[in-house]
Amino acid sequence: MSAGTGLDAALAAELERFAARGRVLVALDFDGVLAPIVDEPSAARALPASAAALERLVATTDVALVSGRALDDLRACAQPPAGVVLVGGHGTQSSLDGAGGGTALSAERAALLERLGAELDALAAGREGVHVERKPMSAVLHTRRAAREVAAEATALALAGPGALPGVHALRGKEVVELGAVQLGKGGGLRRLREALSAAGAPVEAVLFAGDDVTDEDAFAALSPAAGDVTVKVGEGETAAALRVGSPQDVAELLTHLARLRGR
């Protein structure tokens, strides 16, 4: 552990280097990173220590939340401090693009999205604990509250059925299958955000991204630790991230320490 913190020494050293740079971006997934995973997604809230750290950090640093949630849903649950950019829908929406956060679907893509929702509805019908969520660019099958065998069956059917339709981009996360009528991916959303921020001012020299889900691997792959970016996996599982912490409580400590370093 690093002296004065409960952080791993390697992570603490990376944070020191990162904090010493000029303009940097701290990008974070919400569920499982700032907020513990809960059975009812609408009840998720950032840990108080993380919320307080973001308040301090945004005064010196570009901060973004990059989530699979739709933008309005993310805004309602995260309740972010002023100045925090929101990227929702797995990179398809951004608060930098105005209230709606993105562009409208073409008629063809809108019809595809309607079909995806209908087919997932039919798949969820009669399967206890399985439900469908509509987003502006995708439809999502949730299985967290289902029995394990029911969840596995519903997941397999979603991927093999509507998930295999032409033009559909399928993402499998923790207890969810998200089917996009457009290309989905946090990596692309993170790249676009970095470019937009750099175009509006000084270049973003480095990015720190922390995520817990398999859908965050796309964002890890879009960054370069060799070039100064910092990638942090939260929790267990295989990952392309260079560093790891165990829980949202550890993320709160990471952010508190980083806010202190950037405030110097």
pLDDT of residue 98: 74
Section 27-42 average pLDDT: 95
* pLDDT over 70 at 142, yes or no: yes
For 75-112, write each residue's pLDDT tens digit. Answer: 999 999 999 999 999 999 999 987 656 667 889 999 99
Band (pLDDT 50/70/90 cuts) for residue 2 is low
The percent of residues in the chain predicted with pLDDT above 90, rounded, is: 88
Residue ranges of the domains in the chain?
9-102+185-262, 120-180
Handedness of CA 206, 212, 215, 221 (dihedral sign): positive
Q: What is the pLDDT of residue 112?
A: 97
Q: Within a 10 A sphere around the Cβ of 47, how many other Cβ atoms?
A: 18
Average of per-residue pLDDT across 206-217: 96
Average pLDDT, integer, range 208-212: 98
In this structure, whether the domain defined by 9-102+185-262 belongs to CATH 3.20.20.140 is answered with no
- Over 53-112, what HEC string results? HHHHHCCCCEEEEECCCCHHHHHHHHCCCCCCEEEECCCCEEHHHCCCCCCCCCHHHHHH
Nearest to 217 by CA among 45, 37, 29: 29
Question: Which of 29, 31, 73, 212 does the annotation list as catalytic?
Answer: 29
**What whole-number percentage of the chain has pLDDT above 70?**
96
pLDDT in tens, 150-209: 999 999 999 999 999 999 999 999 899 999 998 899 999 999 999 999 998 899 999 999
> How large is the average pLDDT for residues 58-62?
98
Smallest Cα–Cα separation from 227: which of 250, 243, 245, 204? 204
Given a cut of 60, is residue 259 above it in pLDDT? Answer: yes
Alpha-carbon span 260 to 255, nearest angstrom: 8
**Residue 29 designated active-site:** yes
Q: What does the pLDDT read at residue 183?
A: 87
| pLDDT score recorded for residue 15 | 97
**Given CA atoms 37, 86, 100, 163 in this order, what sign does their dihedral have?**
negative
Mean pLDDT, the chain, whole residue set: 94
Instruction: Return d(Cα 122, Cα 172) in angstroms, integer.
Output: 19
* 240: pLDDT strictly greater than 90: yes
Element (H, E) at 133: strand 131-134
SS3 for 132? strand
Which CATH class, in words, describes the domain spanning 120-180?
alpha beta
Res. 138 pLDDT band, cuts 50 70 90: very high
Whether the Cβ atoms of residue 54 and residue 255 lie closer than 8 Å to each other: yes
